[in-house]
Amino acid sequence: MAPPKSVRTISQEAFDELVKENIEDLEMDPTEALEDAIQTLTLQDVDLSGIVSSILGSGEENPVIQSLKRLKELDRDWKQEGRDEKDVNEIVEWLDKLNDVCNVDAPGNAAIASKNGAVELVCSLCSKLGSGFNQALVSALNTLASLLHDLQSIEIFRATNGPKLVMNILNNRKENLSILNSGFSVVSAAATGNEVIKEAFMNLKIDELILQCLREFSRGSIPYLYDAVRVLLTSDDNRVVASEVYGYARRFAKIGIVEALVDSLHVWIKAPSLVSATVALKAIAVNDEICRAVADNGGIAAVLQCIDDSGEQGEKIVARTCCSLLSK
């Protein structure tokens, strides 16, 4: 079998220069110049992901590039001592702008951001936002979660020591529920479809942190925690033959997370966390022993009550999720 074809890439600067040459040397109008550049590079098997390829949003006018440019300046000039509120507010403003454009349907915004150093930049900001900058840290974590959209961006996160950074934040800022929730959203985004990241978080004892949070905080107060459990215990990395998530589920059960999740089912039937907690519990129930532990801790009764209540309240999604757990 022939070796796989290597992927050719191009920088934003080189792409912009090609469009410029089409306009100036070949006297094309901007739209035609852009289309010609894209077609030419596509025929040459050049990967254009992460390239700003629109006339209105090219170069410095693109909101992603604008946000990154200013955030890089703020990151470079950061001095934690003497940092005034105005500077921090500006960081929050630009982080939120970047997060917004990466979450909208405009194609490729997250890829553009990642290709231009956004993951490394936001990780750097996260490491500098100590106590007293809670809102800025929440914005940074939310933005980081929106940037982790594919294997390439997640690999940058891993290479930047992202898992350890996020775990340090979660362990040291447990008093703030917003930080915890945003931090677990990063865990979910990074570990989705990536066995290496799952292993990294497990090596950093995220299971113990999850148990601590479930025991210390009120039910449903950290929605993304349940999503993190589901993702960490889902075998969804097609690159590996044998996933380790089965062993992770047994480890979760061994330290008592089953009991804590069963307790999370005792909430109002319309609570947003109920479906997530049910799905998380289903992810852990990978063998007969764990299923018996669910039953022994009142899980069957809790699920049946949820099904009964969901029927009365017309909560079809809750009923369907609970039935799925019950059948397992």
DSSP track, 61-128: GSHHHHHHHHHHHHHHT--STT--HHHHHHHHHHHHHHHHHHHSSSTTHHHHHHHTTHHHHHHHHHHH
Distance CA 105, CA 121 (A): 23
Q: Is 72 found in the same domain as 175? A: yes
Write down the pLDDT at residue 233. 97
Output 173 or 83, whichever has higher pLDDT: 173
Average pLDDT over residues 206-214: 97
Distance CA 19, CA 36 (A): 8
Residue 298 placed within a domain? yes
Show Cβ contacts of residue 325 under 8 Å, excluding neighbours closer than 6 positions: 278, 279, 281, 282, 285, 303
Q: Is 94 found in the same domain as 37? A: no
Q: Is 326 found in the same domain as 256? A: yes
Write down the pLDDT at residue 57. 45
Nearest CA to 270 out of 313, 322, 227, 320 is that of: 313
Q: How many structural domains does the chain have?
A: 3
Q: Is 199 found in the same domain as 132? A: yes
Write down the pLDDT at residue 60. 56
Distance CA 303, CA 298 (A): 9
Are the CB atoms for 258 and 281 separated by under 8 Å? yes
Residue 64 CA to its chain's centroid (Å) = 18
Percent of the chain at pLDDT exceeding 70: 92
Prediction pTM value = 0.84
Q: Is 263 found in the same domain as 163? A: no
pLDDT surpassing 80 at residue 106: no
Distance CA 248, CA 286 (A): 10
pLDDT surpassing 80 at residue 58: no
Q: Is 103 found in the same domain as 165? A: yes
Q: What angle do CA 264, 187, 205 make, to 5 degrees?
A: 75
Average pLDDT over residues 174-184: 95
Most confident of the following: 60-69, 95-104, 190-199, 291-300: 190-199
Residue 216 placed within a domain? no
Distance CA 305, CA 311 (A): 10
The DSSP letter of residue 47 is: E
pLDDT (tens digit per residue) in 224-255:
999 999 999 999 999 998 899 999 999 999 99
Q: Is 135 found in the same domain as 187? A: yes
Write down the pLDDT at residue 17. 83
Residue 194 placed within a domain? yes
Domain residue limits at 40: 1-48
Phi, psi of 151 (to 5 degrees): -60, -35
Q: Is 166 found in the same domain as 101? A: yes
Residue 180 placed within a domain? yes
Distance CA 297, CA 294 (A): 5
Are the CB atoms for 264 and 284 separated by under 8 Å? no
Residue 30 placed within a domain? yes
pLDDT surpassing 90 at residue 10: no
Are the CB atoms for 12 and 115 separated by under 8 Å? yes
Distance CA 328, CA 268 (A): 23
Q: Is 158 found in the same domain as 263? A: no
The DSSP letter of residue 267 is: S
Residue 71 placed within a domain? yes
Distance CA 326, CA 233 (A): 18
Output 267 or 220, whichever has higher pLDDT: 220
Residue 237 placed within a domain? no
Residue 12 placed within a domain? yes
pLDDT surpassing 70 at residue 55: no
Domain with residue 119: its CATH number is: 1.25.10.10
pLDDT (tens digit per residue) in 110-163:
988 998 899 999 999 999 987 789 999 999 999 999 999 999 999 999 999 999
